Structure 1
Amino acid sequence: MNITDGLDGLAAGVTLIIAVFFTIVAMTRGEWEYIKIFSSIVSGGCLGFLAFNTYPAKVFMGDTGSLALGGAVGAIAILMKMPLILLIVGGIYVIEALSVMIQVLSFKLTGKRVFKMAPIHHHFELSGWKEVKVVWVFWGVTVLLCIIGFFALRLKFY
């Protein structure tokens, strides 16, 4: 999660979408009442923070905020006994972390870089994408991954 925090609104927006996903999933089971409340609080916190963190940011999250949000999302997934679904819905977190690992490994082994800059959101910026476009695309990908997550869980909402 911490690696995702690098553009205005990226980390908070992705986490907002994932927290809303877990809130909806928690609403399907009565025994997850406390998780539904907690994930709703995380969602609301991210939404309120985004009012000041979207481009151009007036407030920055920093390590304390991004690590806390990452811990919250991880705790929610573990408490719901579905940590593997986090690999799907949190695909942006995974891609960001993998891009850093690939870049470091490639540079150490071959002396060449795979990406213009890691994490990958900076690669897209250096490729000519505007910061706002990168953020919106990553938010959209997260929404798609959450939809895939709903199908993977085979939830029944009736």
Structure 2
Amino acid sequence: MPGLIDYLHKIKFGQTEREEGLASHKKKNGTPTMGGLAFIIVPTLVYVIGSFFTPFKLDMNTMIILLAFVGYGVVGFIDDYIIVVQKNNEGLKPAHKFLLQSILAVVFFFLYRTNSTTDIWIPIFDVTINLSWFYFILVFLMFTAETNAVNLTDGLDGLCAGQMVIALVPFAIFAFIQDLNNVACLICMVIFALLGYLKFNKHPAKIFMGDTGSLALGGFIAAIAMVLKQEILLIVIGFVFVAEVLSVIIQVTYYKKTHKRIFKMAPLHHHFEMCGWSEEKVVTRFRLVGVILAILGLVLGVM
């Protein structure tokens, strides 16, 4: 991370805050972005190289997860590149970004279908349902919604990476329980890479993950939930991400109909900042909620 931070400073790959954003965030202008490159490249290379020398192999499950991780990271990199190099703070046009996200979701569905079923498991009721081709719709929504949800959560120092570490822990445990040790190993590697990133992303952040990192993490956790057949629990464990994207949808929809706002500002973390909470307080409270949801999801998953 220190080397990457210095390099990004040198080539002036700095964050540009939106004009309509919070005044307190304007001081973040110039902070290096694309920090997600580190926690994508390092665990990916180490796992792939290590698969030749360790018991942890590159099987179909880990290949799908890594492709989602890197694939969505590439989409995010393109977005960041447009923002940073072309100085266009809008980045990729929403339609283009959604198209690329959708194409990847379709690819991963067909890859997954060569190796698994279209069943989903309903926790609490302990019922398995075969969705047949409706499973495609579920996978499509999982990837497109989760990547955008994680992307929207990346708005405060340490918020997105911290939430992702918390959310990934129960999935690592699920993988161990299912004896999918390759998947468990990969998840753990990304968790530790994120902890290394957090050392430099905690307030005041020295680097941001950018869309490169947030889209990659969204694709990563969606692919894990699909491979582990924990699609429903992804909503429970990752509900902080869900709440962030819902706050934007509710705000935009309500404003278009009434020209009034429900939240002082969306996504949700900015609402609490507008209510007078410090950035650190918002991150701490969100993490506490994330821990509670992770424990709840873990309990539901092992019942």
TM range (shorter): over 0.9
Match of 1:27 in 2: 176
Name the % identity.
49
Secondary structure of the 1:118 match is coil
CA distance in 1 between partners of 2:205 and 2:236 (Å): 28
Match of 1:97 in 2: 245
CA distance in 1 between partners of 2:255 and 2:302 (Å): 42
Q: Does 1:142 align with 2:290?
A: yes
Secondary structure of the 1:113 match is coil
Match of 2:254 in 1: 106
Runs of 4+ with >2 A deviation: none
Q: Does 1:83 align with 2:231?
A: yes
CA distance in 1 between partners of 2:244 and 2:175 (Å): 27
TM-score by length of 1: 0.95
Larger relative contact order (CA 8 Å, sep ≥ 6): 1
CA distance in 2 between partners of 1:45 and 1:2 (Å): 18
Match of 1:54 in 2: 202
CA distance in 2 between partners of 1:38 and 1:154 (Å): 21
CA distance in 2 between partners of 1:6 and 1:81 (Å): 30
Q: 1:4-19 to 2 correspondence within 5 Å?
A: 4-19=153-168
Give how far 1:128 is off.
0.5
Equivalent position amino acid for 2:175 in 1? A
Q: Aligned match of 2:216 in 45, 68, 78?
A: 68
Q: Aligned match of 2:299 in 129, 140, 151?
A: 151
Give how far 1:33 is off.
1.1
CA distance in 1 between partners of 2:169 and 2:301 (Å): 15
For residues 103-144 of structure 1, the C-alpha deviation after alignment (integer angstroms, 9 at most, x for no partner) is: 000100000000010001000001010100100111110100
Q: Which runs of 5+ in 2 are unaligned?
A: 1-149
Give how far 1:21 is off.
1.6
Match of 2:278 in 1: 130
Q: Which of these two proteins has the greater Rg computed from alpha carbons? A: 2
* Contact 2:237–2:290 (Cα < 8 Å) also in 1: yes
CA distance in 2 between partners of 1:15 and 1:105 (Å): 27
CA distance in 2 between partners of 1:77 and 1:42 (Å): 15
* Contact 2:174–2:228 (Cα < 8 Å) also in 1: no
